[in-house]
């Protein structure tokens, strides 16, 4: 049961520093406590843990314009951040982790500001029928975080300039472009500022959790540990990920997300397997790739190997699709 709530507001706009701080806060949040972390990135595309950065983002265009690409630990899709966007993270122990309650904090904050909003689908929040917030999730041992974006006054033209959203994903949302399916909160409340939203989130946290929110002490941050994490997030090895020479590739969109499977086969066996996906469960995608290593190449063999894993809808759907390919 939550009996202490805290908030931590990051002052800088470095995406790698912000992600490093987020990880450190998750690893140090006390039991029976929740930390609300508020942060912003300047001119950044952030992709999900298992996404193919070359497919999701126009990397060269972003770099030419002075932007950065970062990869987070959670699953889900790519998002564009500028200073018109406010990011939030709930850091909490697994026993007290309830996505619905955490989302209630966001909805209550908007209610306090006079904006009506609702939950939608697997990870979105809508206002006026359009998305202003996407959410993603991560857990490590008994600690978790739930983070997301809040579009206050994002440059929507820039958003469309750098993100390469697949046509199948847009079709599944019933829209023609990524700009068409999002809304800035200032379109609904023109005088809204980032600072007002920050305060509303802190006030809403106190109302939902029924405890006074205190600032997280700066001295609780291990600066050396945060810097070590920052270097990891900023490294090309983590940001860009592994590219393999592949002899077979498939891409398909399921109800739970898109998956791109790349395989290099030698003497009929899968020697290297890479799975890119915007699925929310980042850990499951990694496990599936490991499960296929060394498997005989072919629909039936690959499906049988995946079905040895625990029963999950994602695995069932992928196996059924592989069998339909009949290769």
Cβ-Cβ contacts under 8 Å for 121 (sequence gap 6 or more): none
Largest Cα separation within the chain, whole Å, is 64
Look at domain 248-325 and name its CATH class: alpha beta
Top mean pLDDT of 32-41, 57-66, 245-254 is at 32-41
Q: pLDDT tens across 46-63, in order?
A: 999 999 888 888 988 999
Cβ(253)–Cβ(276) below 8 Å: no
Across the range 161-174, mean pLDDT stands at 59
Spans of all domains in the chain: 4-240, 248-325
Check residue 175 and give its pLDDT. 39
Cβ-Cβ contacts under 8 Å for 165 (sequence gap 6 or more): 56, 77, 78, 177, 178
Check residue 306 and give its pLDDT. 97
- Other beta carbons within 10 angstroms of residue 128's beta carbon come to 12
Check residue 6 and give its pLDDT. 98
Q: What is the CATH code of the structural domain delimited by 4-240?
A: 3.30.930.10
Check residue 157 and give its pLDDT. 87
Check residue 174 and give its pLDDT. 42
- Other beta carbons within 10 angstroms of residue 302's beta carbon come to 24
Across the range 272-288, mean pLDDT stands at 95
């Amino acid at each position: 049961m939550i009996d202490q709530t805290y908030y931590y507001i990051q002052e800088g706009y470095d995406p790698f520093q912000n992600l490093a701080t987020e990880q450190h806060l998750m690893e140090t949040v006390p039991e029976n406590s929740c930390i609300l972390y508020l942060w912003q990135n300047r001119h950044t595309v952030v992709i999900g843990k298992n996404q193919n950065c070359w497919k999701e983002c126009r990397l060269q265009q972003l770099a030419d314009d002075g932007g950065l690409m970062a990869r987070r630990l959670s699953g889900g899709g790519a998002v564009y951040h500028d200073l018109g966007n406010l990011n939030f993270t709930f850091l909490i122990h697994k026993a007290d982790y309830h996505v619905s309650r955490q989302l209630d904090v966001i909805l209550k904050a908007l209610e306090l500001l006079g904006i009506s909003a609702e939950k939608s689908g697997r990870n979105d929040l809508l206002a006026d029928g359009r998305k202003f917030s996407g959410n993603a999730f991560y857990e490590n041992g008994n600690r978790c975080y739930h983070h997301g974006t809040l579009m206050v006054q994002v440059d929507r033209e820039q958003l469309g300039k750098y993100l390469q959203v697949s046509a199948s994903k847009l079709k599944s949302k019933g829209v023609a472009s990524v700009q068409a399916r999002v809304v800035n909160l200032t379109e609904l409340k023109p005088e809204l500022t980032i600072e007002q939203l920050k305060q509303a989130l802190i006030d809403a946290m106190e109302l939902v959790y029924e405890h006074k929110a205190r600032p997280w002490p700066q001295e609780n941050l291990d600066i050396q540990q945060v810097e070590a994490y920052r270097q990891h997030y900023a490294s090309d090895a983590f940001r860009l990920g592994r590219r393999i020479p592949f002899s077979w590739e498939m891409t398909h969109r399921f109800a739970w997300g898109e998956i791109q499977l790349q395989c290099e086969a030698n003497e009929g066996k899968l020697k290297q397997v890479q799975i890119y996906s915007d699925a929310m469960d980042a850990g499951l995608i990694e496990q599936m790739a490991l499960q296929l290593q060394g498997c005989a190449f072919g629909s039936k063999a690959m499906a049988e190997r995946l079905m040895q894993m625990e029963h999950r809808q994602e695995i069932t759907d992928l196996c059924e699709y592989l069998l339909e390919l009949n290769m």
